[in-house]
């Protein structure tokens, strides 16, 4: 859910944003929240899922509800990766390497070596797949962790709301001209 919103923003965003700048960060977070949260310019109310909230209630939602949703999403990604890892490790362990005997003919020894080579290639493919999935899972979890860690204090979230008000005011001015 949250990861989808973040990835959608990253794909669709045409602006150059530097997250080190507070207004740029406010644009980023506001856009990620746009399907869930609506900010009002007139009375500084914040609407979440069509219900109006005061700043204190918004702070609670931000710190508790959103945080829990993101943690749950991170756990799902982590658990899915661990399931995949178990399957791959199990698959690697099931690959039986044939052994050649001294009494085997040259042809049988070649077949055994070829089978060992094919099995090693299969194991390498599985390990490569596991490595790429680990990198992808880590990237997803780090993306969510980064978003989860934004605006950790009441003051920082207040600055975000203030910056969002500024953005809304300037959007209105841009529309009038």
Residue partners of 146: CB distance under 8 A and separation at least 6: none
pTM for this predicted structure: 0.82
pLDDT at 58: 94
* Adjacent-strand bridge partners of 28: none
What CA dihedral angle connects 99, 101, 107 and 112, to 10 degrees?
Answer: 0
pLDDT at 142: 97
Q: Which domain range does residue 62 map to?
A: 2-176
- For residues 116-127, one letter each, b for 16 or more C-beta atoms within 10 angstroms of the residue's C-beta and e for the rest, the string is eeeeeeebeebe
Q: Angle CA(104)–CA(109)–CA(115) in degrees, nearest 5?
A: 130
Number of neighbouring beta carbons within 10 Å of residue 140: 20
Residue partners of 64: CB distance under 8 A and separation at least 6: none
pLDDT in tens, the chain (177 residues): 999 999 999 999 988 999 889 999 999 999 999 999 988 876 667 888 788 898 999 999 999 999 999 999 999 999 999 999 999 999 888 887 777 777 778 888 788 888 888 989 999 999 999 999 999 999 999 999 999 999 999 999 999 999 998 998 887 666 555
The count of structural domains within the chain is 1
CA gap 160, 165 in Å, rounded: 9
**Cα torsion angle, 58, 59, 64, 66, sign:** positive
């Amino acid at each position: 859910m949250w990861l989808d919103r973040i990835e959608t923003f990253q794909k669709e965003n045409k602006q150059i944003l530097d997250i080190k700048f507070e207004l740029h960060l406010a644009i980023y977070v506001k856009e990620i929240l746009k399907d869930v949260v609506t900010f009002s310019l007139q009375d500084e109310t914040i609407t979440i899922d069509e219900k109006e909230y005061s700043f204190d209630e918004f702070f609670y939602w931000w710190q508790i509800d959103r945080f829990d949703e993101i943690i749950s999403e991170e756990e799902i990604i982590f658990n899915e990766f661990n399931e995949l890892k178990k399957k791959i490790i199990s698959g690697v362990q099931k690959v039986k390497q044939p052994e050649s005997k001294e009494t085997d003919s040259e042809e049988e020894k070649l077949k055994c070596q070829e089978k060992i080579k094919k099995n090693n290639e299969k194991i390498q493919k599985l390990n490569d797949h596991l490595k790429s999935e680990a990198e992808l899972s880590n990237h997803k979890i780090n993306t969510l962790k980064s978003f989860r860690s934004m605006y950790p204090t009441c003051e920082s979230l207040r600055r975000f709301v203030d910056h969002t008000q500024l953005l809304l005011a300037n959007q209105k001015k841009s529309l009038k001209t």
